[in-house]
Amino acid sequence: MEMNKNAKMELRKNILAVRRGMTPEEVAAGSERFVEHLCAWPVYQAAKHIMMYLAMPDEPHMEKVISHALTAGKTVCVPHMRETRGLMDAAIIADLDDLVVGQFNLLTPNPATLRLLEPSELDLIIVPGVAFDKDGRRLGMGAGYYDRFLIKANKTELIGAAWAAQILEMVPTDEHDRPVNYLVTEEGIFTCR
């Protein structure tokens, strides 16, 4: 188990270095392709209640997918981090203007107008990660927010979102880690084995 923890830390460090090495132009161009792949995907098109992440500067950006989903009349949720570390909720947003700058300088739902959706109501969650493998196993940032949340979103279709460089042959995981069924990268959407 200890080895697994060190393996995860080492892998996280290496992959994040790759991600952080991307230029803003590369991130923008790659994100455009993400939007095209996701918006054309039948699972996304059929989903009524979708949860998406709010990207860090070097992650695939979701704002255009969020706008597309809102225009299409879908219920869109984004993560709301609770005071307790490792716990989050699905916060409904009606508009990108519902977001404010929160901790770590990242966008976050406005706490003053928070409306939550039960995780079990979600049809689709686009899950960020440091790395994924072709079986859909995910390596997160290590705080466990998604691990705890996904247990409650038991009926939901999961798609992992990452750059192609973050898809590995094998990711070390723990028993409680729930794999994703699909992966989206700038190169397209793939079904996990």
Tell me the domains of the chain and their CATH numbers: 2-191 (3.40.50.10420)
DSSP 112-157: GG--EE-GGG-SEEEEE-SEEETT--EE--SS-HHHHHHHH-TT-E
Question: Two tokens at 99?
Answer: 């977001």
pLDDT in tens, 15-74: 899 899 999 999 999 999 999 999 999 999 999 999 999 998 899 999 999 999 999 999
User: What is the residue-averaged pLDDT of the chain?
Assistant: 91
Binding site feature residues: 8-12, 54, 59, 138-146
| Cα–chain center distance at 34 | 12
Q: Which of 178, 167, 174, 159 is nearest to 131 (CA)?
A: 167
Using only C-alpha atoms, what is the Rg of the chain?
A: 16
Residue 104, pLDDT above cutoff 90? no
CA distances to 43, 142, 160 from 121, rounded to whole Å, are 16, 26, 19
Pairing of strands 182-185, 188-191: antiparallel
Q: Which residues pair with 51 in a beta bridge?
A: 77, 125
Q: Which of 85, 171, 193, 181 is nearest to 125 (CA)?
A: 181
Question: Which whole number is the average pLDDT over 82-103?
Answer: 89
Binding site feature residues for substrate: 54, 59
Contacts of 154 (CB under 8 A, 6+ apart): 120
pLDDT in tens, 111-142: 888 999 999 999 999 999 999 999 999 998 88
Binding site feature residues for ATP: 8-12, 138-146
Residue 4, pLDDT above cutoff 80? no
- The per-residue b/e assignment along 92-112, b for 16 or more CB within 10 angstroms, e otherwise, is bbeeeebbeeeeeeebbbeee
